[in-house]
Structure 1
Amino acid sequence: MSSSITLQKLAELVGGDLAVGAPEAVITGLNSIVDAGPGDITFLGNTRYLSALKTTRAAAALVPADLDGIEAPAGLALIRVANPTFAFSSVIRWFGPPSLEFAPGVHSTAVVASSVVFDAQTVSIGPHVVVEDGVTLGEGTILHAGVYIGRGARLGADCVVHANTVIKDRCVIGNRVIIHSGTVIGTDGFGYELVKGRHQKIEQVGIVQIDDDVEIGSCSTIDRARFGRTWIGEGTKIDNLVQIAHNCVVGKHCIIVAQVGVSGSTRLGDNVTLGGQVGVVGHLELGDGVMVLAKSAVTKSLPAAGAYVGYPARPLMEGRKMMALPARIPDLIDRLRELEKKVAALEGGGAKA
């Protein structure tokens, strides 16, 4: 953790241009636009916060390089960068706590089978970890306390598996994969057949394959395939509390937000985004670049890139219109009653005549 930095050094740290402010001025902390105070640096990651920037008490702010006409308080230093949100990560690393270091080696309470292949000079195996027969661990991989690795599983280099995570038999994990606490990789898929009035289990003998640079949040589950593989593509990021069912294929660089459920044998293309609490029916295909907004239900394949919303999910504008219709029902009922009264009055007048 560092206590201070000059504006000039800070601009160099984030790869930006000090557009306003004295290079020798000192920054001593960081905070949000709303909560920042004297000596703090903040950032403008979204133009919806432009009004907050006008009243911030921060000493400096990272702002988009392509944003003109910024109205800011007198004395607020501005550092222009290509991507303020991403650049602010460097600021966090400067002022934040130091990264925890995990010494290579095997903790005395860990249980590691004799057939496990790993380099004890680079791999860190924490307290109460269990690593079963036939496992391979790549260089620099860290297993935190209480992790379980099943028979024949393979983990690549520089993976981080957080406490109490389970990776079951024969699953294949790529390089630089991060799996957060409580997640289970490779549990049986949910497969049953109704035979003579009883649900009979269908054996699930496939694997889960997770490619390089994937990150999976806490308490998520990715089921093994019935046969073949459930496959998570390179660079995909999965939030907490997500369920990916058996034989699903998730493409590269997808974003899957919390409480999403994807049913079995569904295929997601590359760069697909599923918002919070989206549900996807099984055996569907979502094309590259599909974005499904929060709380939507996908009941049929969506091959074309674009945004979808609703229950069932429809193209964005159509879906929004359908979602707005129920709010008009009380007004429509009132209008219908008025029409009924007018019709009744006309019919009554006609009868008297």
Structure 2
Amino acid sequence: VRRLFPQEDSAMTKTLEELARLVEGKIEGDKEIKISGVANLEKAAEGEISFLGGEKLKEQALKSQASALVISDKIETFPKPVIKVSNPRLAFAKIMEVFAPQIAPPLGVHPSAILSEEVSLSKDVSIGPNVFIGRGAQIGERVTLQANVYIGEEVRIGSDTLIYPNVTIRERTVIGQKVIIHPGVVIGADGFGFVKEGDKHYKIPQIGKVIIEDEVEIGANCCIDRGTLDATIIGRGTKLDNLVQVGHNVIIGENSIIVGQVGISGSVKIGERVTLAGQAGISDHLTIGRDTIIGGGAGVTKDVPPNSFYSGYPAGPHREQKRIQAIIHQLPKLWEWYRGQAEK
């Protein structure tokens, strides 16, 4: 695909000055240049705007056919019309929204949808084909439920939430406002709780619920289990990548980032602004302190203090892990040296 969101409609053409006002940036160059779309540096054409995220791509940016660029205000000069900002990636994301407006869903309830008794629908909702809404569920204003969504009994969904196809939200789950849930997500399945009864595993009833706070985004095919007695909670502004498993009674603090294929065992408490990189695994009943980073593929088996960077398996402070790895890579040479000394 050569372009991202090209626009032929003149209503979507903006001057560089208009875009600069949107992102509160400073213009250098022709402020009257017409911009009708966005693209990456390599594929951009005349009439489109791109962005320079760092010095490494400066040569590519110089060769780009883009009519203008969004760049860092730390770059002193650039031989193209530019908008200078402190955070080019953020500014470009806001510009992308101008040229890629959300498609408005059809309002109302599709004839094939099934609504149980005592369902409450607020105004301007969009209920798609084959949606099921259980008894006593409450759907807020401007909520979109796309095809084949299942909403269990007494679920509450806040306003301006978007739920993509084939999502299952089980009974008593609470979803906040402006939440985005991608296809295939399951929220509120039973937690993995069993107790030994002789040679068998006796299922522990999972009677808690799940609370998803405002402005959370949940990637495709994530699973968030309900609490055993209390609630599993995903804090405000937290973002989950695809294929994340959140066990029962987990509490994730606000504005955290959980990357793909992370597994979080039951009763883990994660602080605010924590990043769990891809395929990290967290053992049960641990606490991860706020503002912490857990590296990709790490296996966390002990509590992690706030403001830490842990990696490896078993996970430890990243600097220590790097020293350990450096020593491990020297072991073959040390072994050869040892053998040579023994032969003497």
| TM-score higher than 0.5 | yes
Q: CA deviation at 1:296?
A: 0.8
- 2:17 alignment counterpart: 8
Find out whether 1:232 has 2:243 as its counterpart. no
CA contact (8 A) 1:2 1:94 kept: no
After alignment, is 48-57 or 143-152 more displaced? 48-57
CA contact (8 A) 2:254 2:273 kept: yes
Instruction: Select the residue among 171, 174, 199 that pairs with 2:201.
Output: 199
- 2:106 alignment counterpart: 103
Matching residue's letter, 2:93: S
CA contact (8 A) 1:310 1:323 kept: no
- 2:174 alignment counterpart: 172
Q: CA deviation at 1:47?
A: 4.0
- 1:49 alignment counterpart: 57
TM-score (norm 1): 0.89
Computed over aligned residues only, the root mean square deviation of the Cα atoms, in angstroms, reads 1.8
Matching residue's letter, 1:93: E
Q: CA deviation at 1:29?
A: 3.3
Instruction: Select the residue among 284, 290, 293 that pairs with 2:292.
Output: 290
Q: CA deviation at 1:54?
A: 4.1
After alignment, is 210-219 or 50-59 more displaced? 50-59
SS at match of 1:175: coil
Q: CA deviation at 1:114?
A: 2.5
Structure 1 residues without counterparts, runs of 5 or longer: 344-353
Q: CA deviation at 1:79?
A: 1.1
- 1:62 alignment counterpart: 70
Q: CA deviation at 1:137?
A: 0.9
CA-to-aligned-CA distance 1:261-318 (integer Å, 9 cap, x gap): 0000000011111001110000000111111111111110002212111111111211
Instruction: Select the residue among 78, 82, 88 that pairs with 1:78.
Output: 82
Q: CA deviation at 1:248?
A: 0.6
Aligned residue runs from structure 1 range 80-159, under 5 A: 80-96=84-100, 98-119=101-122, 121-159=123-161
Q: Pick closer, same or farther for the CA change 1:140–1:292 going to 2, 3 Å.
A: same
Q: CA deviation at 1:123?
A: 1.4
Matching residue's letter, 1:16: G
Matching residue's letter, 2:20: A
TM-score (norm 2): 0.92
Matching residue's letter, 1:68: I
Aligned residues: 335
- 2:333 alignment counterpart: 331
Q: CA deviation at 1:156?
A: 1.3
Q: CA deviation at 1:28?
A: 4.0
- 1:34 alignment counterpart: 42
Matching residue's letter, 1:11: A
Percent identity, aligned pairs only, is: 39
CA contact (8 A) 2:207 2:227 kept: yes
CA-to-aligned-CA distance 1:221-274 (integer Å, 9 cap, x gap): 000011111111111111110000001111111110110000000000111110
CA contact (8 A) 1:234 1:252 kept: yes
SS at match of 1:11: helix
CA contact (8 A) 1:150 1:168 kept: yes
Q: CA deviation at 1:182?
A: 0.3
Task: Report the Cα distance in structure 1 between the residues aligned to 2:178 and 2:139, rounded to whole angstroms.
Answer: 12
CA contact (8 A) 2:7 2:37 kept: no
Q: CA deviation at 1:89?
A: 1.8
SS at match of 1:199: strand
Q: CA deviation at 1:78?
A: 1.7
Matching residue's letter, 1:105: G
Look at both structures and tell me which one has the larger radius of gyration over its CA atoms: 1
Q: CA deviation at 1:51?
A: 4.4
Structure 2 residues without counterparts, runs of 5 or longer: 1-5
CA-to-aligned-CA distance 1:102-152 (integer Å, 9 cap, x gap): 232111000001210112x32111100000101111111111110000111
